[in-house]
Amino acid sequence: MPGSKTFFGKYHSKEYINERRHLRGLLGYYIKYIPMSWGVRLGLSSGILTRYGVELTPNVFDATFRMCCEGGYGTFLSSYMVDYEKPFIMLDIGANQGLFSLLAAQNTKCQQVIAFEPVATTFQLLEQNIELNLATSRIKAVQAAVSDHAGQARIFLSKTHSGGASLSQSTVHSSDKTEEIETVSAQQLNEMVTDDVDVVIKLNAEGHEETVIKELIKTNFFPQVQAIFYERDVRWVDPNMLKNLLEEQGFKSFKRVGKEPRLDVLASREADET
């Protein structure tokens, strides 16, 4: 049969198999979580319980929400935040809908979480999720992005992935849709972090990491920062530059989670024992 070899070759290719697996997973996700979303809207439940044990306001068609529900971020950072043994403050820069802020707040050693989320609709979900999980006394939500100046900026948005919002136009998520947001810099951060305890930072800035880290270095509390968990994508950031920048500030360990081109790094002042 003409063309059959080409057809079946494509049908059994790795790319086609992965695409079918992805579509089956997506269909299963919608079958499970859309009815749950209706249940929340009808008042039958307060929120959707994620695999991380926190409840979230339904946002079913958003990729970040799906990752939260299905445990797509793994357990590396969540375990680190929940198990941190000394008093600490967490800065969640790019908090999105608040998953890691909520997890950090569960740790009794956590004195406060300051969650930064600049996009209006996502910030509204963040506030709702903080209230939903009874964490208003532990988490301070700030509708702003951390950058190299205090004022306004335009952020590029992704239609289906709230976590893809970026101040950098060079990211693959960037689109023509933008929103004007507030920004804060080192001076405002100094006013927020005044306690002399460890500081742990989760940074998700979609290509704006260098700017944020350089601004953090200017703060009075940066010597208290014991760990920075940041996303690293070689498509729009130089991984060696970020590592060198932090090594100059006394960070010794850089544990990587995931695969290129996009992975996560836990930079710590404590040397890796392994």
Query: Which residues lie below 8 Å from residue 169, measured CB to CB, with a gap of 6+?
Result: 156
Instruction: List pLDDT tens digits, range 106-162.
Output: 999 999 999 999 999 999 999 999 999 999 999 999 999 999 999 999 998 888 888
* Cβ-contact 141, 95 below 8 angstroms: yes
Q: Amino acid letter at 20?
A: R
Report whether pLDDT(224) > 60.
yes
Least trusted range by pLDDT, from 53-62, 94-103, 197-206, 258-267: 258-267
What would the mean pLDDT of 67-91 be, rounded to a whole number? Answer: 95
> How large a percentage of the chain has pLDDT more than 90?
70
Q: Is 43 exposed, middle or buried (0-12, 13-18, 19+ CB in 10 A)?
A: exposed
DSSP category for residue 242: H
Burial of 117-130, coded b for 16+ CB within 10 Å and e otherwise, reads bbbeebbebbbbbb
For the chain, the domains span: 4-65, 72-268
pTM of the prediction? Answer: 0.89
Question: How many Å apart are CA 32 and CA 186, to the nearest integer?
Answer: 43
Which CATH number applies to 72-268: 3.10.580.10, 3.40.50.150, 3.30.10.20, 3.10.50.30? Answer: 3.40.50.150
Question: How many Å apart are CA 15 and CA 84, to the nearest integer?
Answer: 40
pLDDT at 19: 76
